[in-house]
Structure formats: structure tokens, C-alpha cells
Structure 1
């Protein structure tokens, strides 16, 4: 699979989707519980999405995503997977 960059990107997209589903589930449970923690999580969720998007936009404008389409796609996927994975770990600890 490593020889086919688009196949790797497809697999990474699938993994991102699975991890995002876990984060959505954990966040939904936290938001459903209500209270100050839910309010903080809702604000954090929105600000993280804006920051992640702006960071990627800056990378694209400064050439940080590379020159090939498959390379840029891989960097975008890696960027979002790091963010989603960090949220999954954080929210999993809080749910325990």
C-alpha cells in the first residue's frame, strides 16, 4: 500500500472518519450532560475547528503542503488526524 499514495490517502481518510466518529460520540455525551464542562467543550470545539482551518490555509498559501496533489492530501489528512486523535485521547480520559 505504501507504493500507491492515493491508496494510502484513502486508508488515512477512512481512519480519520473512524476517529472522528469516536470524538463525535464522546463530545455528544459530554454536551448532553450539560453544565459548565459542556459549555467549555462547545466553545473549545468551535475554536479548534477555526484554528485548524486557518492553520491549513496558511500552510497552503506558504507552500507548506508541497507541490503534488497526493502529498498535499497526505499532509492535510495528517494535520486533521493529529487534531482528532488528541481530542479522542483527551475526551476518553474525561469519560473514564
Structure 2
């Protein structure tokens, strides 16, 4: 029992750190302006609405909190990959 709570806490903490990275990348893109910023803003809002609805449906149909966190982490990692594509890393 304790192990499942520990894993949920760790996964939620990792989600928070991963999300901060995506927020920083998105803010940089939005600050640059232009059509790419407009597209990113629209994408960000629609993704959030869809993800919230999906999480609500998962919980309503009996999914665990861990499954919801895992779903959010997959989406955040996908956004991170998309936003860093083409950038050079040291």
C-alpha cells in the first residue's frame, strides 16, 4: 500500500518538474510572437481542455489516480520533444 502512494507522489513530482520545462519552452515561443506563437497558444488551450476532459472521464470510469498522472506525463513529454525538435543541445 505504501509503495503505491510513494510511486504516485514521485510521479506527480516528476510531472511538476517536466511541466515546468514545457511551460518555459512555450513562454519562449509565445514571447517570440508571430504566427508560430498564435498556433502554440491555440494548441496549448485546446490541449488543456481535452486533457482535463480525458482525465475526468478516466476517473469517472474507475481509472486510478496514477493512470491519470501517467497520461499527463506522456502528453508533457510529447510536448517537450515537439518544442525542442531542431534545437541544439550541449
Matched, 1:73 2:72: no
CA-atom RMSD in angstroms = 1.4
Instruction: Structure 2: state its 5+ residue gaps.
Output: none
- For 1:85, the equivalent position in structure 2 comes to 77
- Detail structure 1 runs of 4+ shifted over 4 Å in the superposition: none
Structure 2-normalised TM-score? 0.89
* Equivalent residues of 1:22, 1:88 under 8 A apart: yes
Structure 1-normalised TM-score? 0.84
* Equivalent residues of 1:23, 1:87 under 8 A apart: yes
User: How many residues in Structure 1 have an aligned counterpart in Structure 2?
Assistant: 87
